[in-house]
Structure 1
Amino acid sequence: MGDELSPRRLVAVFESPVAEALLRFGLDLGFRTVLVEPDPTRLGGTPRAHGDTLVGDLAAAGLDEHTDVVLTDHHRSEIGTVLQEALERRTRWIGIVGNPRHDGPHVAALRELGVPAEQIARVHRPIGLNIGSRTGPEIAVAVLAGLIADRNGRPGGFEF
């Protein structure tokens, strides 16, 4: 392991119910949490009380090899540029929420930006444990459980 004493950072990209739950639960799980919202008009009176930091772009989020980045909305037009920036930085893990039955729009967005296939493959989707999540908090629990399992070298689920 050896990671226990390293700073753990969870960067939730895009204000959403999933992001709010990730930030709230992430604090309790020992993450330093950051919300990245490139469009300040979407904040509607935030920053909220949960979460450590609110920034407008990934450059200000302090990404490093101990950082997990989760894009919490796959419908945003910025997913390509945000993912491209995340892929250019040192991060431990990058994922985007979305229904596994549909192609992820991030693939086309990244191809359009000229991102090589091996870099696109670093973006995880679907993310989290398969627990049938539907609500923002349920999705956040599944994602955080998956991140913890991955960080600890475990498969997740009920296989031991």
Structure 2
Amino acid sequence: MNSTDLSVLKSALTWLQAGHLVAIATVAQTWGSAPRPVGSWLAIRDDGQVAGSVSGGCVEDDLISRVQTDILTRSTPEMVVYGVSQEEAARFGLPCGGNLRLLVEPKPELAILEQLLSSISNHQITRRSVNLLTGKSTLSSGNQNDDFILTDTEMRTTYGPRWRMIIIGAGQLSLYTADFALAADFEVIVIDPREEYIEGINRDDVSFMRGMPDDVLLELNVDSHTAVVALTHDPKLDDMALMEALKSPAFYVGALGSRKNTLKRKERLLEFDVNQEQVEKLHGPVGLHIGALTPPEIAVSILAEVIAVKYGIIVPKKS
């Protein structure tokens, strides 16, 4: 779940717990050019306050009006469609004549949403199924490969924890990498046991953890929504972290270093409790080859490669 939809979930919970009536709208289907992907959330409070977005602002005003005047009085979900005709698409400003289909739930269940937030916070991938006839929903274990499903009687959506980037080392390159990762909606954690870097990460948007990287990685429960990037250029720290990261379900593991040093690193790792298949998961030198020279340029190349791997794009092997 990205930070926007996670924020919507938290707002909806806060409003429900305070006694407000709340409707949740989910992007169920799109045609043409759509500004928000399927599964995106918008929460609408009974007084018209909103959290999130389903169209980037095109249809929200009309949807708020529909929710306040009609949908909140219902007990079952309502399917709302925008942009069926060219006139309506033009009226609501849908780009390129796109169409938008929204499932609006007027009575989301507080207990289910609380359990969903708890699961996401514990880095569990969770499947939410909504019965379109009754409005009741259930939760079950999910898989990151689950597809969004919409039928005449059911909507099934899978929610995972936020994508995380764990950075080993708190140097200048790490700070630039953290900035770009935050902009790309990653939760960022920096690990560095060295005394001289304690003051280097003093910011609210990045979690800084002291301790040996391998020990901290085990504590963090690295999952398939996590990227691990080793940037200290110190084998004593980077290699220890990589040994644990390569054995974990992390979707990306990368390390700073030349091609020559990367080959030596792989040889060292094979001498420890890491097998050949695990070692081949290592992206090194870290980042796409774009001719980057400065720390911010290298950080851009790192994020580009991480994002490509995140979305299943084949990254050229570095020889």
The alignment's TM-score, normalised by the length of structure 1, stands at 0.82
Structure 1, gaps ≥5 residues long:
none
Counterpart in 2 of 1:59? Answer: 218
Counterpart in 1 of 2:203? Answer: 49
Q: 1:120 to 1:156 in 2, by over 3 A?
A: closer
Say whether 1:136 aligns with 2:291: no
- Structure 1 residue 63, shift from structure 2 partner: 1.5
Between structures 1 and 2, the one with greater strand share: 2
Counterpart in 2 of 1:85? Answer: 244
Q: Which moved more, 1:81-90 or 1:50-59?
A: 50-59
CA distance in 2, matches of 1:99, 1:50: 33
AA of the residue aligned to 1:25: F
SS at match of 1:94: strand
CA distance in 2, matches of 1:74, 1:106: 11
Q: How does 1:16-31 map to 2 (within 5 A)?
A: 16-31=171-186
How high is the sequence identity, in percent, across the aligned residues?
26
- Structure 1 residue 44, shift from structure 2 partner: 4.2
CA distance in 1, matches of 2:270, 2:248: 18
Matched residue count: 154
CA distance in 2, matches of 1:22, 1:5: 26
CA distance in 2, matches of 1:134, 1:19: 15
Q: Which moved more, 1:59-68 or 1:16-25?
A: 59-68
- Structure 1 residue 62, shift from structure 2 partner: 4.0
CA distance in 2, matches of 1:42, 1:88: 29
Say whether 1:97 aligns with 2:252: no
CA distance in 2, matches of 1:44, 1:54: 9
Counterpart in 1 of 2:307? Answer: 148
Matched-pair contact (CA < 8 Å) for 2:238–2:255: no
2:188 to 13, 33, 38: 33
Structure having greater relative contact order (Cα 8 Å, sep ≥ 6):
1
The alignment's TM-score, normalised by the length of structure 2, stands at 0.44
SS at match of 1:147: helix
2:228 to 57, 61, 69: 69
RMSD over aligned Cα, in angstroms?
2.4
Matched-pair contact (CA < 8 Å) for 1:24–1:50: no
Q: Deviations over 1:29-60 (max 9, x none)?
A: 100000011x2313142332264211232123
CA distance in 2, matches of 1:145, 1:60: 27
- Structure 1 residue 5, shift from structure 2 partner: 5.5
1:10 to 165, 190, 201: 165
